[in-house]
Amino acid sequence: MTLWIIFAVMTAAAVLTVVWPLGRKPDAASGGSDRLVYQDQLAEIDRDRAAGLIGEPEADAARVEVSRRLLAAADAEAPAAAKVTGPQPAWHRRAAALISMTLIPAVALGLYLALGSPGVPGQSAFGRVDTPPSDASVAGLVSQVETHLARNPNDGAGWEVIAPVYLRMGRFNDAVEARRKSIALNGDSVERESGLGEALAAAANGVVTDEAKQAFQRAVAGDPHDAKSRYFLGLADEQDGNREAAAAKWHALLDEAPPNAPWANFVRAALARATGAPVAGQGAGNGPSADDVAAADSMNDTQRGEMIRGMVQRLADRLHADGGDVDGWLRLVRAYAVLGDRDKAKDAAADARRALASHPDQVKQIDDLAKGLGLEG
């Protein structure tokens, strides 16, 4: 009975929203504020992601959904306030109110009885949030945004929203183009410049090109503490053969890292690769323990090399037990390549493709890395 009371209250509220304007004198339409609301929601998603409250797949899906609503609101906005042509006769308004009061509840009840499932318990809001969106639904939402941008190519908010989604989907060249258009339309910012550099590096199979390096340098000039740009600038030094400079940048980055920074282990792994020695602080699944680090001080180069191979083997064992971590597979393939074991790098890439077969965008990341490391053929 309580459920039907709730339905009755909801129906009455819906009817009231329709009937209430009919009892008022018509005024000139005022501009909506939907765009501001959706833009605030996008900013809130970025804050939640930065705080680690939601994962990257959920953040991408939320951005796409909010952007779709933002773009729909933008399309619906009229270029000028609508003009009132004249007052409606009072009997028209009374007739419309009477029809609304009877027709809306009757149609709603009929549809619910025909299509609803009163005996089935509803899914909680937390259940809906915890259920990841399918690739097909994300692709459909992206298609809607692309359609909007084809009609409105100067919508800077649309390009800014779609750029990180392209990167997550493995559409690196599209991500580069979207980042460039966002910067051209919205202006420079630390996030946009670092995002452009990341997309350029991804499109170049992980190589920090000169253009990408310049983008990261502009980001660091705007914010000397930008972790992403500082990491990639260190990677550029390593790729140029200057491992000492890379290690110095990464050491400084780790020294300033906040507690439980989600990227800290990734930087430690890069630092270990550059220095040839384990780095304190890595998790058990990705690197050495504190005892391992203490023991490494007394090791010679051969012993230290064996220890690093043991770290790599632990990572491989973890991935073969639970192979859904694409970042872990990328690290494993790179680690074998750095150690000079090309056969194991090829085998790891093949194992990753099988483990990630249900995620084509992640398989493409593995393929791009293998191609960049010359593991094909």
- pLDDT tens-digit profile of 17-45? 666 665 555 544 444 567 677 777 777 88
Q: Which of 201, 196, 238, 202 shows the shortest CA–CA distance to 366?
A: 202
49-72 burial: b if 16+ Cβ within 10 Å, else e: beeeeeeeebbbbbbbbbbbebbe
* Residue that the structure tokens 């909680």 belong to: 124
Of residues 194 and 63, more confidence is placed in 194
Both tokens assigned to 59? 């953040």
Rounded Cα distance, 326 and 329, in Å: 5
What is the arithmetic mean of pLDDT over 54-66?
75
Say whether 276-377 and 205-274 share the same fold.
yes
User: Which range has highest mean pLDDT (36-45, 52-61, 215-224, 259-268)?
Assistant: 215-224
Both tokens assigned to 223? 């914010």
CATH number at 205-274: 1.25.40
Rounded Cα distance, 200 and 175, in Å: 8
Rounded Cα distance, 248 and 267, in Å: 12
Q: How confident is the model at residue 184 (pLDDT cuts 50, 70, 90)?
A: very high
- Given a contact cutoff of 8 angstroms between Cβ atoms, the answer to whether 281 and 269 are in contact is no
Residue 115 pLDDT > 50: yes
What pLDDT, on the 0 to 100 scale, is given for residue 370? Answer: 84
What pLDDT, on the 0 to 100 scale, is given for residue 214? Answer: 95
What is the arithmetic mean of pLDDT over 111-119?
61
Cα dist from 176 to 170, 173, 199, 262, 318, whole Å:
11, 5, 5, 25, 33
pTM of the model: 0.46
Of residues 377 and 182, more confidence is placed in 182
- Given a contact cutoff of 8 angstroms between Cβ atoms, the answer to whether 156 and 186 are in contact is yes
Q: Domain residue spans in the chain?
A: 205-274, 276-377
In degrees and rounded to multiples of 5, residue 262 shows phi and psi of -65, -20
Lowest-confidence segment of 160-169, 281-290, 355-364 by average pLDDT: 281-290
What pLDDT, on the 0 to 100 scale, is given for residue 249? Answer: 92
CATH number at 276-377: 1.25.40
What is the arithmetic mean of pLDDT over 140-156?
89
Query: How large a percentage of the chain has pLDDT more than 90?
Result: 20
Query: What's the pLDDT tens digit per position in 88-109?
Result: 555 666 666 666 666 666 666 6
- Given a contact cutoff of 8 angstroms between Cβ atoms, the answer to whether 330 and 366 are in contact is yes
What is the arithmetic mean of pLDDT over 298-317?
67
Rounded Cα distance, 309 and 72, in Å: 53
Rounded Cα distance, 285 and 312, in Å: 10
Q: What is the mean pLDDT of the chain?
A: 75
Question: 349 CB contacts (<8 Å, ≥6 apart)?
Answer: 329, 333, 366, 367, 369, 370, 375
